[in-house]
Amino acid sequence: MRSPIEIRNDAMDCLRLAEQAKAPRQKSLFLLMAQAWNQLAQQAERIAAPAEGDDAGALAEPSPTSH
CA 48, CA 22: separation in Å to the nearest integer? Answer: 38
Contact predicate 4/41, CB 8 Å? yes
Residue with more model confidence, 2 or 31: 31
**pLDDT of 67 higher than 60:** no
**pLDDT of 16 higher than 80:** yes
Q: Identify the pLDDT of residue 59.
A: 47
Q: Identify the pLDDT of residue 48.
A: 86
In the chain, domain spans: 4-48
DSSP state of 66: -
Mind listing the pLDDT tens digit for each residue in 17-64? 999 999 999 999 999 999 999 999 999 999 888 766 555 544 444 445
